[in-house]
Amino acid sequence: MITILADDRIPFVSELFGNCGVLILKPGYSIQRSDLKKANALLTRSVTQVNAALLQGTAVEFVGSATAGYDHIDHKWLLKKSIFWTYAPGANAIAVAEYVLHCIAFLRKKNFLRKKAPHAAVVGVGHIGRVVSHRLKNIGFSILHNDPLRAVSEKGFISTPLEKLTKMDLICLHTPLINTGKFPTYHLINNILLKKIKPGCILLNAGRGAVIDNTALSTCDHIIICLDVWENEPDIDLDLLQKVTIGTPHIAGYSKAAKLRASLMIYKTFLEYFRLPDIRSKQLQRLSEKKILDISRYYTVEDVLLKIYDPGKETKRMRKLLIKHLLRFETLRRNYQLREELLSVQLLTNPFKLKLENLKKWGFSFN
């Protein structure tokens, strides 16, 4: 019988892994070596540092992290000890891309990005940046990319230097935080570059907070700032929070579908590793049911998007709770109510008000 120790906040962990062996649930921040003495598998999130200090001398042979990144995993040590590990790259890509679309909808209601063919730069074109680029093209943006690391490894990929992106209408950041090497991203957007960005440009960061020098950013009055990630999380700059047009608590990738996608990715790898049949709970079937949204009262695509998720309301809530010290940043993030992805919403439409073709460009589908 396989013994599985899992972070109790991994979405759908009981429904997926409950029939796979002995499942023990525990808060991720309190998992320690003594909990793993007889555990064959460890399922984690980013709050758990997976390294020699945690796993040395345990029975763990499989590590699965329901996260899109693996900064918290000492993968070199795991490889050295022949411990199999996996994570969920790209699981949140659609959610982050749609977060960008919701932000654009909010900004358009404020009369930003109204020109016919706005220009956008996507900085960091990995799992997430690729999807963001595709979705922006679908709604009429002209796109340039910046990803020098990808340009080195992929023939034909064009990485436009940052200095040539300062005239864009929208700059979206989706890079990991890299402190060393030939292409570091720490303070990639610094005071010098910020001053060169054209007035009125939208600077949106849904990558890593320290990719932008937040101290320098707090002095910028000529650009529109949208931040989902912040330098020095969870102790963010509250003065900067007051300044931004959109500010959210690192939740761009937090959709119901993204969380299920991440859990399913490590679940399927788990089954392959332990050679088990797929015996997930039937309770998961209800998650595929679409949410019904009557849009007969809405006249624009922006209205529909903001009905599903409004980053403006999120910003007001975050300001109120953090600036008045009613909640902490990590509490806001932990208790965030997962939003629907656009394909998870079934629209009841009035075709005379909204063109279906236009809705499809933004990512909605119709049966």
Torsions phi, psi of 22, nearest 5? -85, 110
Residue 350 has pLDDT above 80, yes or no: no
251 C-beta neighbours (distance < 10 Å), count = 23
Label residue 229 by pLDDT band (50, 70, 90).
Answer: very high
State how far the Cα of 334 lies from the Cα of 35, in Å rounded to an integer.
23
Residue burial 196-227, b: 16+ Cβ < 10 Å; e: rest: ebeeebbbbbbbbbbbbbbebbbebeebbbbb
pLDDT, position 189: 99
Considering the chain, what percentage of its residues have pLDDT values greater than 90? Answer: 86
The model's confidence at residue 244, banded by pLDDT at 50, 70 and 90, is very high
The two three-digit tokens of residue 120, written as one number:
């956008």
Q: DSSP state, 341?
A: P
What are the residue numbers of the active site? 208, 233, 250
Cα separation of 175 and 185, whole Å? Answer: 7
pLDDT for 286 beyond 90: no
| Per-residue model confidence (pLDDT) at position 39 | 98
Quick one: 3-87 is in which CATH superfamily?
NAD(P)-binding Rossmann-like Domain (3.40.50.720)
pLDDT digits (tens, 9 = 90+) for 287-317: 667 888 888 888 899 999 999 999 999 999 9
pTM exceeds 0.75 for this model: yes
Kindly state the DSSP code that residue 275 receives in the 8-state scheme.
T
**What would the 3-class secondary structure string for 151-189 be?**
HHHCCCCCCCCHHHCCCCCEEEECCCCCCCCCCCCCCCE
**How many Å apart are CA 105 and CA 123, to the nearest integer?**
21
Burial 324-352 (b: 16+ CB within 10 A, else e): eeebebeebbeeeeebbbbebbebebeee
pLDDT of residue 353: 66
Q: Name the helix (H) or strand (E) containing 333.
A: helix 329-334
Same fold, 3-87 and 93-247: yes
> What is the average pLDDT across 12-33?
95
- Joined together, the tokens standing for residue 345 give 């919403």
User: In whole angstroms, what is the distance from residue 68 CA to residue 88 CA?
Assistant: 5
CATH code of the domain made up of 93-247? 3.40.50.720
Domain boundaries, the chain: 3-87, 93-247, 289-362
pLDDT over 70 (residue 212): yes
